[in-house]
Amino acid sequence: MGHLRLREEGVEGAQDEIAVIADDVFQAIGLDKAAAYVKGLLNTIEHPVYDYENIVVLVATSEGVSRREIGRHFWAELRPMWNMPKEGFHQLYDKMPGPKLPFEEAWRWAGGNPRMLGRLHTAGWAAERVVGDVLREKGLTAEFVRRWRRWLEEAVEDPEALWAGDVPEELVRELEARNLVVYNMYDRDPYFWMDQPPPERDPELGIGKNAAWQTPIHREAVRRALREAASS
C-alpha cells in the first residue's frame, strides 16, 4: 500500500482543525481524475478558501497504477507504507475475538496485511476460501493464466522474476492494475517509507527487492489459478 501525505499546515488566528483522509478512492473516481483530485487537495492546503487552525490530508492507495499517475507530477511526494511489521500485526491478531488460526499461520497467509487478517476472520479462518474469493475478484481466468503462464509460474516462486528483462511490460501492468503486485519497490532506506519498510527479500511472504506480491494470499490465488487452468 502506498500513502501520499500532502502536507500539514497551520493558519494563524483560525479556530477549526480539519483532517481529510481518503483510502483507495481512485478506482471509484477514475484513474484519469486521480492527479486532479490530489492536486485539488493540495490546493486546499496551500490556498485555503476558509480559515482554519490546522489541516492535514492523507491519501492512501494500494494501486500501483495510481502511484505512477500521481508520481509523475513535480508537486507529488510519495511515501509507501508496507504491511504491518510482525510485532504490530501480533497485537492486532491478539484482539481478534474467538478461536483463530495459530499466529504464525495467520502471519504466513496475511503477511502483516490487516485487511487480509479481517477477511480471514470473516471467512472463519478458512484461508482457502479467501484465496478463492481473491482469485475471482482479480479476474484470474483460465485465458489470462494460460496467456502469461510462463512468467506467472516463475513469479509465484520468486516475484523478482518479474524484474527480469524478458517479462512483457503488458503483464506487469496487468498485475499492477489488478492490484496483485507492487512493482519497482523503493529503496529500503526508512527515509523513503512511512513506518517500517519491508525486508529486502522474504521468499515466504513473496517479497523481492524490486517486486512483491501484495500479500501471500494474492500469490496463492495466482498459484491456484495456474493449477486450475492446467487441469481444465
Check residue 203 and give its pLDDT.
96
Check residue 51 and give its pLDDT.
75
- Segment of 47-56, 61-70, 110-119 carrying the highest mean pLDDT: 110-119
Contact call for residues 62 and 99 (beta carbons, < 8 A):
no
Check residue 40 and give its pLDDT.
81
Interval 158-175: pLDDT, tens: 999 999 889 999 999 999
Contact call for residues 205 and 216 (beta carbons, < 8 A):
yes
Interval 73-122: pLDDT, tens: 666 677 788 999 999 999 999 999 999 999 999 999 999 999 999 999 99
Q: Which residues contact 107 (CB under 8 A, 6 or more apart)?
A: 86, 89, 90, 93
Distances (CA, A) of 107 to 83, 132, 212: 11, 18, 16
| Long-range residue pairs from 17-21, CB within 8 A, at least 24 positions apart, any chain | 17/52, 17/53, 17/54, 17/55, 18/52, 18/54, 18/55, 18/56, 19/55, 19/56, 19/57, 19/58, 20/44, 20/55, 20/56, 20/57, 20/58, 21/57, 21/58, 21/59, 21/60
CB atoms within 10 A of CB 208: 23
- Domain spans, the chain: 2-80, 86-232
Average pLDDT on 119-148 reads 97
What band does 63 get if pLDDT is binned at 50, 70 and 90? low
Location of C-alpha cell 484482539: 95
What band does 23 get if pLDDT is binned at 50, 70 and 90? confident
Q: What is the pTM of this model?
A: 0.79
